[in-house]
Amino acid sequence: MPAYDAFLLVSFGGPEGPEDVMPFLENVTRGRRVPRERLLEVAEHYMSFGGKSPINEQCRQLIASLSLPLPIYWGNRNWTPYLADTVRQMAADGVRRALALATSAYRSYSSCRQYLEDIEQARAAVPDAPVIDKIQRFYDHPRFIDTFAANAKSALATLPADLREEAHLVFTAHSIPVAMAEVAGPGGHRYTAELTQASRLISERLDGLLGGCGGSSPRGQAPARHPWTLVYQSRSGPPAQPWLEPDVRDHLADLAKSGVQAVVVVPVGFVSDHMEVRHDLDAEAAEVAASLGLAYARAATPGTALAPMVEALVQAHLAGAAPEPCPDGCCLKFAR
């Protein structure tokens, strides 16, 4: 097992002021044929929060929370600090081999393979760049599951007392094109499978925190105290391209029609509060719920609570657990 002399946090990045918003969105959507109207619409979401995404600050807070026996570096895909600049600094500091963790827990092109490509592109741009090994998905790590379950329990407690027992858990993740989901991970469909597994584990852990289980859940799932479903949000591709569904807002309407009176939305696809969480869930989905008469609560994302998990993963690799390699041909952007 090679020795590591640095840890690298790799993240998505986000604007830190109004002047950054459109350049950032153009970085994110370059080559994806996203309509200009959609970019302007999303830009308004950022402007309603002062033109600043919470994600960079949450990366800083996570780094400040980490206790590691390695120097810590941070580089982003879409905004400063850009990954190539960070790798250049690592090389200048004499780093020869680094262990990297991306702030994304699931298999798909945009959440896994693209980060590997980002790392290799950054290394190619830097003479004498260090070797960088990426820690793979952590969607089922006990600390990841426990944090979400604890946050879901806290969200449940904010609902009216007479509605908590019957509340429906709505797990939500960023939608991706159906064609991308079909080739996610070995054998395909791993994005949806891993999200489903994480949602089930969180539901089971929540049952344990609440002291037992109760009614049955839909779609053939095992009995659970609170029924749950997995839905998607924040699609951004061209209208004619199929993306994963149902959309969280449509699903809230379906739940209300079926007699559900309260929901807890759990952003299982997000490690920290992206704008898709702050706007799409805290504003848009909450507004839809209010219009439907649904009591609504949103579970917090893990954020800095994941520091112990990151430390445990790094220590395991330092002790000899080699990062799991991605098989050739998995998590392609689209099927060949």
**Neighbour count for residue 70 (Cβ, 10 Å):** 16
pLDDT given at position 336: 55
Assess whether pLDDT exceeds 50 at residue 4: yes
Q: Which two tokens stand for residue 49?
A: 């929060």
What torsion, rounded to 10 degrees, do the Cα atoms 314, 7, 69, 317 define? Answer: 30
Provide the 3-class DSSP secondary structure of residue 58. Answer: helix
| Positive/negative CA dihedral, 53, 140, 65, 111 | negative
My answer on whether omega of the bond before 308 falls inside 30° of 0, hence cis, is no
Over the stretch 300-332, which tens digit does the pLDDT of each residue have?
A: 999 999 999 999 999 999 998 777 778 877 898
CA 47 – CA 61 distance, rounded (Å):
23
Which of 35-44, 121-130, 210-219 has maximum average pLDDT? 121-130
Over the stretch 145-180, which tens digit does the pLDDT of each residue have?
A: 999 999 999 999 999 999 999 999 999 999 999 999
Which one-letter amino acid corresponds to residue 80?
T
Assess whether pLDDT exceeds 60 at residue 116: yes
Q: Which two tokens stand for residue 106?
A: 């699931």
pLDDT given at position 239: 81
Average pLDDT, the chain: 93
CB 104 within 8 A of CB 274: no
For domain 6-138+304-318, the question of CATH label 3.40.50.1400 is answered with yes
Average pLDDT for residues 253-282, to the nearest whole number? 97
Q: Where in the chain is the domain with CATH 3.40.50.1400?
A: 6-138+304-318, 142-303
Q: Which two tokens stand for residue 46?
A: 């950022």
Residues in the chain, how many? Answer: 336
Average pLDDT for residues 141-145, to the nearest whole number? 97
Dihedral class, residue 114 (left if φ above 0, else alpha if ψ from -120 to 50, else beta): alpha
If you ran DSSP here, which 8-state letter would residue 74 be given?
E
Identify the CATH assignment for 142-303 out of 3.30.70.2740, 3.40.50.1400, 3.30.450.20, 3.40.1190.20. Answer: 3.40.50.1400
If you ran DSSP here, which 8-state letter would residue 228 be given?
E
CB 301 within 8 A of CB 56: no
Residues 6+ apart with CB under 8 A from 16: 52, 53, 56, 79, 80
Average pLDDT for residues 76-84, to the nearest whole number? 97
Assess whether pLDDT exceeds 70 at residue 130: yes
CA 140 – CA 20 distance, rounded (Å):
35
174 membership: H or E segment, kind and range:
strand 168-174
pLDDT given at position 322: 73
- Which segment of 22-31, 93-102, 164-173 scores lowest on mean pLDDT? 22-31
Average pLDDT for residues 183-205, to the nearest whole number? 96
pLDDT given at position 198: 98
pLDDT given at position 219: 45
Over the stretch 211-259, which tens digit does the pLDDT of each residue have?
A: 864 433 444 445 678 999 999 999 987 788 999 999 999 999 999 999 9
Provide the 3-class DSSP secondary structure of residue 290. Answer: helix
CB 180 within 8 A of CB 109: yes
